[in-house]
Structure 1
């Protein structure tokens, strides 16, 4: 019996050796031939695993694009706010910090997070927290609850998705010299009303404390703390046609407490159009206008127009490059920005191909009678022109350039050098959210 068992074992080994070449040749054939030898139950499992891998990859790509479009870098189930890592302005100095929020990998239903930063020069601690509840599966409609204690630039306002996170327009904050300490609680509902129209309803309660005398004031007017409520509506209409057009509108109503009473209504609007004239020429036009009326305090005036803190600075589109920060204020204003871009070396895939941008800007502002004697405005018209040699140096998606801007007209300075602004340009090319 033992001999019979040994013979059978030897026969099996011989058969295995003889069939090895045919098995090997089948395994090195096409993928279908390999799958043919997988049992049906195992084949279904492999297909399921492959489907789950594809779904995970597509979700990871979607989450990455969505987060980056808003200025956040995904890292697992949390995202890091890139704009909070390194910041700077002339009042606070360097402002390192971190902003974190959960993303769709943790939950498709909500996101929560916060931020902390330290103002090294002014020695301020800034922090905040928020919670976002998505109202639709598409995540285009959501409810926001937020709190923040932070230093914000004086006399500024924001449109709904008005500035792309990687646009050089964000460098405007580097020139800030006048800030207000703001403690604010807010609630907002954002809704995608149609394919082209998005809206936001909001309410906030804020305490505002000016940190220094505003540069546009002509005397040492006492700037007191303000406390009050504000409710508003923000709208954004955008087309994705060849001639891209975007229109923003804000309407806000504010009211103070009994200690420092105030009441106002403000209306802000902005229109932007980009027209490709040819394969190498593109024209961009932006018109911004605003008005605030009521029983106002100096902190309510618009003043964030200029970015010339020094002779040399950082290029920031759609601002007055030769005007000092908060040099002028206005209770109503209108500004026109014109930019014509020439892409050189269009037919060359590599090499030196600078982008040359010609720009001109002009605006006019007015003050309500209560501020005529104590504040400066630009009712005679403010004008400047410049040329920007962009993309002089390129490395993958980042490029650097140099621009020159000159101030002229009724508010020109006596010394020529005081009318000049030299800007170092940084462009980051990425996918637009729009």
Structure 2
């Protein structure tokens, strides 16, 4: 593994050196006048060079298991090729003392339908209970607050082959075949047919759809570009795990659905809503089940739990407190018009309400982990005052209802918020 990482590091370094060598002084002068484009690309999480776009997501991160995680990664751009791409990274965790990496790439099969055939080999960590859509748009944040507090990860070595295809500009799909070797980093056994699995293999097929029926597009320089992002947007994904295919251990299936809506009001305030549903059926280990994106540290006092609020996470729900094989969550936010106090001081008030409900069959199969279910419905509400100083603000959230805790202070989450745009 170390050998592969060193090779990948040399490749990335070589590309960066060649990319930073200008052809002539005219190119340098032209590049110097494109600061606005560069700023936009950095805002999307890339630092572009001649052949290689460095992915800023891999530079510096922190979590409870790896501690400081740092590395290099990125993807080739049109300067390298318009029909082929390399998409790889290598990172190192200073707390677990382990390299992680991905070696991947793709070939474009059709330009008009943006059809790409991709392959990847990944040796990394994944948060237990998380669920991602293949078709999700790339997400980049200079600061990922929830990541700081996550401690429940599983190792996975995954070989994957995927096909991206745009049926229409408003409907995109991605299909993936993957084989994974999974090792939880925590004490866990999944008991099935009198056998306890502390590690396992999966062979999965995924089909993901992203439908944005109210987006509008227009041609610019012979390229179809999005001119308006409309709402609602819909995502649907089906996952099937096949037992005994490439020595896989379990048969299970999953259906995930999400819709995002935004209503803009006349006074420039707006309201957003995110509805998420997940259903897992069959012999499903905890790694592939659902949490409700908790973001509260398991510490005693409010100040000890003081951290940074996430975007759609449940701020008063403790990490690893609940898991479900079927769940629904709804996050609603109302953003008031920013207060025009001064030229560079425009704080914004946001009202928030979150709800989640779920349950689980065969809880006894999951051993060495203690958790509850959401069968009675989890509720919290709160507010944020954003952009008070250098993008930072404050968040206050209160937990109430069926899962209200006996100690009053345990139901309160006081945190920073962080919002910055380029």
TM-score by length of 2: 0.79
Match of 2:13 in 1: none
Match of 2:209 in 1: 235
Match of 2:343 among 342, 350, 353: 350
* Residue 379 (1) aligns with residue 375 (2): yes
Matches within 5 A, 1:186-265: 186-213=160-187, 224-238=198-212, 239-240=214-215, 244-257=231-244, 261-265=249-253
Matches within 5 A, 1:382-393: 382-393=378-389
Match of 2:410 among 418, 428, 432: 418
Contact kept, 8 Å, 2:183 with 2:199, in 1: the verdict is: yes
* Residue 129 (1) aligns with residue 103 (2): yes
**CA 1:214–1:339: 2 relative to 1, 3 Å:** farther
Structure holding more helix per residue:
1
Note the C-alpha offset of 1:168: 8.2
**CA 1:98–1:154: 2 relative to 1, 3 Å:** same
Matches within 5 A, 1:32-431: 71-137=45-111, 140-162=114-136, 164-167=138-141, 170-213=144-187, 224-238=198-212, 239-240=214-215, 244-257=231-244, 261-303=249-291, 305-309=293-297, 311-345=305-339, 350-371=343-364, 375-394=371-390, 399-430=391-422
Unaligned runs of 5+ in 1: 1-51
Contact kept, 8 Å, 1:255 with 1:263, in 2: the verdict is: yes
CA RMSD of aligned residues (A): 3.1
Structure holding more strand per residue:
2
Note the C-alpha offset of 1:400: 1.7
Distance 2:85 2:40 in 1: 13
Note the C-alpha offset of 1:223: 5.0
Contact kept, 8 Å, 1:169 with 1:318, in 2: the verdict is: no
Deviates more, 1:349-358 or 1:75-84: 349-358
Note the C-alpha offset of 1:201: 0.8
Distance 2:372 2:86 in 1: 43
**CA 1:286–1:169: 2 relative to 1, 3 Å:** farther
Note the C-alpha offset of 1:242: 7.3
Contact kept, 8 Å, 1:361 with 1:385, in 2: the verdict is: yes
Contact kept, 8 Å, 1:226 with 1:256, in 2: the verdict is: no
Contact kept, 8 Å, 1:207 with 1:228, in 2: the verdict is: yes
**CA 1:213–1:413: 2 relative to 1, 3 Å:** farther
**CA 1:136–1:242: 2 relative to 1, 3 Å:** closer
TM-score by length of 1: 0.77
